[in-house]
């Protein structure tokens, strides 16, 4: 599915599990329920909802978080139907807000709506039992056209986490950029590319990515997360892309702005939805290129546990010491063995 299920499910699940004093294993069970619901909706919609300007993380996330919360709250079948119907009316989120503070708010809002829907159903609030797939329902509204009934009822498929797996993002920017950044960092390390000698950088990506990632001028960090020009320039200048590169000060650096002007974006239908090719051309005529069909962090190119822990620490040190962040990260790695998740949550409080 197109979207970020963990950004919605994790906060919703931790909130419910903390309140109910449940185990890490129970949290993971709830995660699998929510992930499967979001993935099933993603299979039904394909890329259509995304192309129609809906944000899948937001609209599927409200339903997924609701399913997770309903499972942990042990709602009855009828209560769960009501909860999903309530969540279906709450689901919302548009792509136009990508690059603004409202875009990341979509994930938190979906988590909140999902929990609220489950709690309201637990207290007796009702909804139409066909709010998802009935006439005038969720699927018809967000899809805008006929959908696959088989995808809705296909119970024979393996769980999504087993069949498709999860993608872990290496960089704190849009996932549609990640294979580009892998290519640029690889070329910088392998060829020793010097930004000052570069005449042009051609970035070939799927046309669907160009529509919202071609942003030659950015003024702030949130907007820069959706700019091929900014992220590629940053990767070539620094050999990495981290949270510290998305401050207003970083975006305004003259060397970054100058290199952004040398970046040209061209369509590459042959590269797949998340693939890319980077061609770096020097002023003296030399050129270097690298191609990937998917970024590192995908099931085919997984990150190691050490790399995942490093990413967590990089994020967490915004609010806590590195030693505390490492301790919290290691505890999360053992989530399935924790009898009371509240013990882990205590480590996640800022210093």
Say if residue 230 is in the same domain as residue 258: yes
Longest dimension (CA), the chain: 73
**H or E segment at 119?**
helix 102-122
For residues 130 and 179, state if they share a domain. Answer: no
159 and 259 within one domain: no
22 and 101 assigned to the same domain: yes
CA distance 305 to 117: 35
- Flag whether 123 is in a domain: yes
Cα separation of 326 and 278, whole Å? Answer: 35
First and final C-alpha spacing in the chain: 36
Same domain, 278 and 336: no
User: Are residues 64 and 153 part of one domain?
Assistant: yes
Residues 156 and 76 in one domain: yes
- Regions of the chain with pLDDT less than 50: none
- 146 and 23 in one domain? yes
Task: Let me know if residue 300 belongs to a domain.
Answer: no
4: Cβ–Cβ under 8 A, 6 or more apart, which residues? 57, 107, 175
| Same domain flag for 111 and 144 | yes
**Distance (Å, whole) CA 182 – CA 231:** 11
pTM of the model: 0.87
By residue range, what is the domain housing residue 107? Answer: 5-167
Same structural domain for residues 154 and 18? yes
Give how many domains the chain has, as a whole number.
3
- Residue 18, judged by CB atoms within 10 A of its CB (0-12, 13-18, 19+), counts as middle
| Cross-strand pairs, 266 | 204
**Residue 13 belongs to a domain with what CATH number?**
1.10.4100.10
Q: How far is Cα 174 from Cα 29, in angstroms, rounded to an integer?
A: 28
Which helix or strand (DSSP H or E) is residue 266 part of?
A: strand 263-267
- Shared-domain flag, residues 21 and 153: yes
Q: Is 318 part of a structural domain of the chain?
A: yes
In the numeric block, which tokens belong to residue 231? 């992220």
Q: What would the pLDDT profile of 210-260 be if each residue is shown by its tens digit?
A: 988 999 999 899 999 999 999 999 999 999 999 999 999 999 999 999 999
Residue 156 is predicted with a pLDDT of 63
Place of tokens 């005449």: 199
Residue 242 shares a structural domain with residue 340: no
């Amino acid at each position: 599915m197109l979207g970020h299920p963990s950004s919605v499910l994790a906060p919703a699940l931790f909130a419910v599990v903390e309140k109910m004093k449940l185990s890490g294993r129970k949290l993971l069970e709830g995660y699998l329920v929510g992930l499967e619901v979001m993935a099933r909706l993603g299979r039904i919609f394909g890329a259509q909802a995304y192309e129609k300007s809906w944000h899948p993380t937001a609209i599927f996330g409200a339903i997924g978080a609701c399913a997770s919360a309903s499972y942990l709250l042990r709602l009855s079948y009828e209560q769960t139907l009501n909860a999903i119907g309530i969540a279906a009316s709450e689901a919302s989120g548009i792509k136009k807000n990508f690059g603004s503070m409202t875009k990341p708010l979509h994930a938190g809002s979906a988590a909140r709506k999902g929990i609220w829907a489950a709690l309201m159903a637990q207290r007796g609030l009702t909804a139409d039992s066909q709010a998802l797939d009935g006439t005038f329902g969720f699927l018809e509204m967000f899809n805008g056209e006929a959908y696959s009934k088989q995808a809705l009822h296909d119970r024979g498929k393996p769980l999504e986490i087993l069949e498709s797996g999860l993608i872990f993002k290496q960089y704190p920017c849009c996932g549609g950029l990640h294979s580009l950044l892998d290519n640029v960092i690889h070329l910088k390390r392998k060829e020793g590319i010097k930004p000052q000698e570069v005449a042009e950088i051609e970035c070939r990506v799927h046309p669907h990515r160009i529509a919202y990632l071609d942003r030659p001028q950015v003024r702030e960090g949130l907007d820069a997360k959706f700019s091929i020009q900014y992220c590629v320039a940053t990767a070539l200048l620094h050999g990495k892309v981290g949270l510290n590169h998305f401050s207003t000060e970083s975006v305004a650096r003259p060397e970054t702005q100058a290199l952004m002007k040398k970046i040209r974006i061209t369509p590459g239908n042959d590269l797949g939805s998340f693939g890319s090719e980077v061609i770096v051309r020097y002023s003296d005529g030399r050129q270097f290129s690298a191609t990937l069909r998917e970024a590192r962090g995908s099931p085919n190119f997984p990150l190691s546990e050490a790399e995942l822990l490093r990413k967590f620490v990089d994020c967490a040190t915004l609010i806590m010491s590195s030693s505390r962040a490492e301790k919290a990260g290691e505890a999360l790695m053992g989530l399935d063995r924790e009898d009371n998740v509240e013990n882990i949550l205590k480590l996640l409080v800022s210093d």
